[in-house]
Structure 1
Amino acid sequence: MTKVTTAEQAVAGIDSNMTVASAGVIGWVTPDAVLKALGERFSKTHEPRDLTFYFPCGTGDAMGIKGMDHVAREGLMKRIVSGSYINPVDPETGERPKLMQLIHANKIEAYSWPIGATMHWLREVARNSPGYMTRVGLGTYADPRHGGGKFTERAVDDLIRLIELDGEELLFYPSWPVDVAILRAATADEHGNLSWEDEPLTTANVALALAAKASGGKVIAQVRRIVEVGSRPANQNRLPGIYVDSVVVDPDMMMTTDVAYDPAYFGGTQKELSTLAAPPFSVDRIIANRIAPEVRKHELAIFGFGAATDVPLVMNENGAFENGGIYDYPGTTEHGAYGGIVMPGWQFSANINPDALLDGVTQFDAIDGGLCKFTALSFAEYDAQGTVNVSKFGRANPGAGGFIDIAQNAERLIFAGTFTTGGLKADVANGRLVIEREGKVKKFVSTATSITYRVQEGVAKRNQEALIVTERAVFRCMEDGLELIEIAPGIDLQTQVLDLMDFAPVRIAQPLPLMDAAHFNKTAQAKRHENA
């Protein structure tokens, strides 16, 4: 009996008060057609109601691939637990995502967990354990003493607990059943055996399916194609059909926004690195220029979203990857792509020309085990107590993503971002940085809005090394505070650095070195960008 059905038929069995889980990474591997069908069913029938949604990572981009925004409807969504949230302004409507509107209006119970916890929790549900225990996130916004991951006032239940085991404090995430899992794969046969041979990520899809089946729930899979039973080698099928209840075929599904289909993202073809466009000159490019020399050979590096994403592209432009040099600089992302080059924008998380792919749950085993020695991550705020914040600031509630797991377990850390934000405009003239319009919002603040990671504590207790790299200044994070170690040419120390900080560095290098002039060579970089 075939398991192939329509998206509308597949979601018809979802009842009120269920927990529905789905996985995607921005637009990658997002089962958009099925999520859309569920949202449309509610619009037509006002059923089902009061669902709990569980997304290990921000699923969909709320732009070309709506993902979780399809089900962001008051009445349909009662509660959401997610490892990250997406909050872009739609250029056509000028609106924030529907989900973020519900969060800001306190219309739903919203929780944010570190992605490592969202991935590993599924494994505990799948094996019917009481829950997930971890050291990761102690002292952060996930810690019940600092909010317990609650993102709205309606979120009153304690989904994360502080426990003690053999005298050690740990965070505990109790298990609860997953009633429906909505997956995306590349291919299925009529028995429901699933493979991901032309997807660049598998994320938590297999773990989602096992968690749902262990809970007595159902699994819906969206795929690009159906093939004959037995037409693929068994080792290509990552999820046996016995764990799949319904298969929805969408032959036209996008790989991600702006990418209909490109086999270079999963190793089906190799793209010439010389054809990759170098980042255009900007303040982010200056930051990436400064970070690139910090990347060491033969040290596994993991790059986060934002200015740090441009670092491998800068290294590629500078020739570091020529003649096989790319294999001297192993790199990955939090979602399991190894090798190649991570891409910016909506293509972030997948790599061009990857060598290998791990699923999301296994990747966070590697991250939490400290195997990613170096990381470059973005920052939104840094405060006088040595705390970095990326999880909640201004009108943005993105959550931590993989930030906490990565930062807590790496040995060398760089936090990348502009010195101020909110309208900052800068340029370079004669090799000197010119601030044409200062940002309205300070990023070096007395107290961070949210505690994403305690950098100063990591330096003191775990012997971590950490830098903060901005377009105009570089700081070293020390046990007793920030040490200013470099300044951009053209920048006035007092008025354009110190006066824009709510706290003072504990030390300023004397004499204070200038950042390398090559980072500000706009003409040379512009020519290389045009040639690329």
Structure 2
Amino acid sequence: MDKVLDSPARAVEDVPDGATLAVGGFGLCGIPSTLIGALVAAGTTGLRVVSNNCGVDDWGLGLLLRAGRIARMTSSYVGENKEFARQYLSGELEVELTPQGTLAERLRAGGAGIPAFFTPAGVGTQVEEGGLPWRYAPGGGAVALASPPKEVRKFGGRRYLLEEAITADFALVRAEVADRHGNCVFHAAARNFNPLCAAAGRITVVEADRIVEAGELPPDSVHLPGVYVDRVVAADPADRRIERRTVSTSRQEA
């Protein structure tokens, strides 16, 4: 089955307002920036997004956030986005912070059809006890919605928390190479959350730097089988940013 579409706009045209999205990437590494841009242009709003973080103020998911299109974020890290902090503290944005490994496993479990699992992460903290502010009242200050306490069980004398799996209406993923059947290869660390999000999405859309014919990818090189992918589009090669540039200063020898 040829899953390649002719434009990013067509690939996301049926994403409705209020949809749940699982979005791959880590920082700005491996983010589906072309598809995010298509959603910005489409005007889709009220989105409930699951992603490791929310981009930066002027790129990635930060573009949807700045436009007021995101209603809820489930993330493990949000420290590079000032607009995120402003919306959260003013009561405009609902936020569920989740330990990074737990977030990865919740997505993996969702893709595997496992409804929940026990983990030691968060035992003895507010993750277990509840009370973490998910949403502040308008204007900030008072907590309008707090996290609930989690079920605890002991295994081998150690306490574990019950965490529920995550599934999403749509998954947006960035790959280095995809074939027309949706089989994908990721480049190095850009693999990050992408395969997990792809498996957790009911409809998975992949943007790829390069699209090849079916059969061109050696089976052993495939990181994400096409069975998880519904649509493939070409990524904009200009959609690449460095989140934080570090330059070393060489010392001149005396």
Same fold (TM over 0.5): yes
> 1:317-396 to 2 correspondence within 5 Å?
345-346=244-245
1:29 aligns to what SS in structure 2? Answer: coil
Give the structure 2 partner of residue 21 of structure 1: 22
Say if 1:51 and 1:154 are closer, same or farther in 2 by CA, change over 3 A.
farther
SS of structure 2 residue aligned to 1:26? coil
Shift of 1:141: 4.1
Identity %: 22
Query: Separation in 1 of the partners of 2:89 and 2:245?
Result: 24
Cα distance change, pair 7–151 in 1 and its aligned pair in 2 (3 A) = same
Q: Which has the higher contact order (CA 8 A, sep 6+)?
A: 2
Partner in structure 1 of residue 200 of structure 2: 211
CA contact 1:162–1:169 (8 Å) conserved in 2: no
Is 2:97 the counterpart of 1:112?
yes
| Larger Cα-atom Rg | 1
- Counterpart secondary structure, 1:220: strand
- Structure 1 residue aligned with 2:220, among 235, 257, 261? 235
Is this contact kept in 2: 1:3–1:247, CA < 8 A?
yes
Amino acid of the structure 2 residue aligned with 1:245: D
Root-mean-square deviation (Å): 2.6
Letter in 2 for 1:80: M
Question: What is the DSSP-based 3-state SS (H/G/I as helix, E as strand, rest coil) of the residue aligned with 2:163?
Answer: strand
> Is the contact made by 1:183 and 1:222 (CA closer than 8 Å) also made in structure 2?
yes
**Distance (whole Å) between structure 1 residues aligned to residue 126 and residue 245 of structure 2:** 27
Corresponding residue for residue 154 of structure 2: 165
User: Take 2:153 and 2:24, find their aligned partners in 1: how far apart are those partners?
Assistant: 31
The question of 1:529 aligning with 2:251 is answered yes
Matches within 5 A, 1:83-162: 83-87=76-80, 96=82, 98-145=83-130, 147-148=131-132, 150=134, 152=136, 153-156=143-146, 158=148, 161-162=150-151
CA distance in 2, matches of 1:101, 1:76: 15
Deviation of 1:168 (Å): 4.5
Structure 2 residue matching 1:143: 3-state secondary structure: helix
User: Which segment drifts farther, 180-189 or 164-173?
Assistant: 164-173
CA distance in 1, matches of 2:210, 2:57: 25
Report the residue type matching 1:161 in the other structure: K
Distance in 2 (alpha carbons) for counterparts of 1:254 and 1:246: 19
Question: Paired residue for 1:51?
Answer: 47
How far off its partner does 1:59 sit?
Answer: 4.7
Rounded to whole Å, the distance in 1 between the matches of 2:207 and 2:199 is 16
Shift of 1:74: 7.0
Contact 1:113 1:149 in 2 (8 A): no
The residue identity in structure 1 corresponding to 2:134 is K
Whether the 8 Å contact between 1:143 and 1:149 is mirrored in structure 2 is: no
Query: Residues 11 and 205 of structure 2 are in contact (CA less than 8 Å); yes or no, is this contact kept in structure 1?
Result: yes
- Partners in 2 of 1:41 and 1:131 — Cα distance? 34
**1:26/1:346 contact within 8 Å kept:** no
The alignment status of 1:184 with 2:184, answered yes or no, reads no
1:81 is the counterpart of 2:74? yes
Look up the SS of the partner of 2:206 in the other structure.
strand
- Determine if contact 1:226/1:249 at 8 Å carries over to the other structure: yes
The residue type paired with residue 16 of structure 1 is: D
- The answer to whether the 8 Å contact 1:54/1:80 transfers is yes
| Alpha-carbon distance in 2 for matches of 1:116, 1:252 | 30
1:151 Cα shift? 6.1
2:111–2:167 contact (8 Å) kept in structure 1: no
Aligned equivalents of 1:530, 1:174: Cα separation in 2: 56
Distance 2:118 2:209 in 1: 37
Higher deviation after alignment, 171-180 or 72-81:
72-81
| Cα contact 2:24–2:31 (8 A) shared by 1 | yes
Per the TM alignment, residue 61 of structure 1 is displaced from its structure 2 partner at its CA by: 3.1
How far has the Cα of 1:79 moved from its partner?
Answer: 1.3
Partners of 2:95 and 2:227 in 1: CA distance: 33
Query: Structure 2 CA distance, aligned partners of 1:80 and 1:109?
Result: 6
- Asked if residue 224 in structure 1 is aligned to residue 209 in structure 2, the reply is yes
Q: What does 1:393-472 align with in structure 2 at a 5 Å threshold?
A: none
Structure 1, unaligned runs of 5 or more: 89-95, 259-344, 348-525
What is the DSSP-based 3-state SS (H/G/I as helix, E as strand, rest coil) of the residue aligned with 1:123?
Answer: helix
Give the corresponding residue for 2:183. 193
Q: Give the corresponding residue for 2:4.
A: 3
Query: Secondary structure of the residue that 2:251 maps to in structure 1?
Result: helix
Matches within 5 A, 1:490-529: 529=251
1:40 matches 2:41 = yes
User: What is the alpha-carbon distance in structure 2 between the residues aligned to residue 123 and residue 2 of structure 1?
Assistant: 23
Instruction: Report the TM-score when normalising by structure 1.
Output: 0.42
* Alignment gaps of 5+ in structure 2: 137-142
> How many residues get paired?
243
**How has the CA–CA distance of structure 1 residues 255 and 50 changed in structure 2, closer, same or farther, with 3 Å as cutoff?**
closer
